[in-house]
Amino acid sequence: ELYNKVLELKGNIRVFCRCRPFNSEEITSGATTAVEFEGAKDGELTVKSNGISKKTFKFDAVFSPEADQVEVFEETAPLAISVLDGYNVCIFAYGQTGSGKTFTMEGTNEARGVNYRTLENLFNIIEERKNTFKYEVSVSVLEVYNEQIRDLLVSSGSSQTTKRLEIKQVVGEGGGHHVPGLVEAQVNNVNEVWEVLRTGSNGRVVESTNANEHSSRSHCMHCVMVKGENLVNGECTKSKLWLVDLAGSERIARTEVQGERLKETQNINRSLSALGDVISSLATKSPHIPFRNSKLTHLLQDSLGGDSKTLMFVQISPNENDLTESLCSLNFASRVR
């Protein structure tokens, strides 16, 4: 069955929609829900306003607020096999701040998310395959903030933190892109990866005065690089797994912000719409794919399209008060599908 799922994913862009549960404040204040899940098994989700106007969206999977991390992960598990088979994979979480992007990707210690589970799965398969394959795994953790790339594995205070990182085209070796100077931490098991990811998260927090606000305004990106060698025939593979917690997609009225904040907002809008443009150009097989329009898409250039696999989680809130943003996210997701 897993094998069939892998085939299904081949060369595909998939979109999963996940709705977070109401939080305690919303329950206390008696918030109303704007989302219906009757068709969830068929990948359908219906959004209603004032209980009257309704719109139904269709996705590859829909997860209602009751869906737990295990259920969500079961649908993403085949992607670890793809990475070890030599495919590049990107997994994103898109949505407004507070819609559950970080919960889905990172999760909590009690309810670990896609990042940890995918990596755990990756190392389990490496162990299963150890008689026929040899793998080397390394990890980079970076952040794109205001169209600047920052290495989160470089300890704060070191002169490296202020160094501007740029994206360079790789000549030879099958091409692709590379960020010279970016730390690549070699890892041998899931605990080591977990430690590296933690260092990355800490690096992110330390640098900002308001951690939550900062994380909602930057893209947090993990890149897992895998080199494989088939011990039977000597064939080698090189692949990447990107795990991306995107900046909040909420629209901020231009009149509300000025100066630095306006620039920040414009950069977020620009990179998220660039991502939408790239994925929808790929989906419609357009001859020109506008990768260079943002740092985010430029970084991901060799992992989007071709025979790589893309999975986007569109995160939404159930709250009717968030309906405008939810509709924006759902429309964005329909466009890339």
Contact pick of 95, 203, 276, 305 for ligand ADP (by CB under 6 A): 95
Q: In the numeric block, which tokens belong to residue 286?
A: 């357009």
Residue 102 engages Mg ion in binding (rule: CB under 5 A): yes
Contact pick of 6, 12, 21, 181 for ligand ADP (by CB under 6 A): 21
Task: Give CA–CA dist 159/141, Å, rounded.
Answer: 18
Contact pick of 99, 199, 265, 297 for ligand ADP (by CB under 6 A): 99
* Closest to ligand ADP by CB, 21 or 43: 21
End-to-end CA distance of the chain: 24
Task: Give CA–CA dist 235/133, Å, rounded.
Answer: 10
CA proximity to 300, closest of 128, 178, 191, 151: 178
* In the complex, minimum distance from the CB of residue 300 to ligand ADP, in angstroms, rounded to a whole number: 19
Task: Give CA–CA dist 295/299, Å, rounded.
Answer: 6
* In the complex, minimum distance from the CB of residue 169 to ligand ADP, in angstroms, rounded to a whole number: 32
329 binds, among ligand ADP, Mg ion, none (CB under 5 to 8 A by kind): none
CB atoms closer than 10 angstroms to residue 114? 25
The residue whose Cβ lies closest to Mg ion is: 102
* Closest to ligand ADP by CB, 95 or 276: 95
Residue 97 engages ligand ADP in binding (rule: CB under 6 A): yes
Q: Choose the binding region for ligand ADP from 82-90, 101-109, 200-208, 265-273 (rule: CB under 6 A).
A: 101-109
* Closest to ligand ADP by CB, 102 or 281: 102
Which of the residues 311 through 330 are near ligand ADP (CB under 6 A)? Answer: 315
Q: In the numeric block, which tokens belong to residue 120?
A: 């755990």
CB 289 within 8 A of CB 280: no
Which of the residues 162 through 221 are near ligand ADP (CB under 6 A)? Answer: 216
Contact pick of 13, 59, 100, 125 for ligand ADP (by CB under 6 A): 100
Pairing of strands 177-178, 61-63: unpaired
Give me the residue label for tokens 């606000």: 213
Contact pick of 14, 20, 150, 219 for ligand ADP (by CB under 6 A): 20
The residue whose Cβ lies closest to ligand ADP is: 100
* Closest to Mg ion by CB, 106 or 302: 106
Q: In the numeric block, which tokens belong to residue 163?
A: 């160094």
DSSP state at residue 34: -
CA proximity to 114, closest of 78, 79, 69: 69
**Which distant-in-sequence residues (6+ apart) come within 8 Å of 251 by Cβ?**
269, 325, 328
CB 329 within 8 A of CB 20: no
Residue 76 engages ligand ADP in binding (rule: CB under 6 A): no
Q: Choose the binding region for ligand ADP from 4-12, 16-24, 145-153, 193-201 (rule: CB under 6 A).
A: 16-24
CA atoms within a 13 Å half-sphere pointing along the CA-CB vector of 54: 10
Binding site residues, ligand ADP, CB under 6 A: 20-21, 23, 95, 97-103, 216, 315
The footprint of Mg ion (CB under 5 A) covers: 101-102
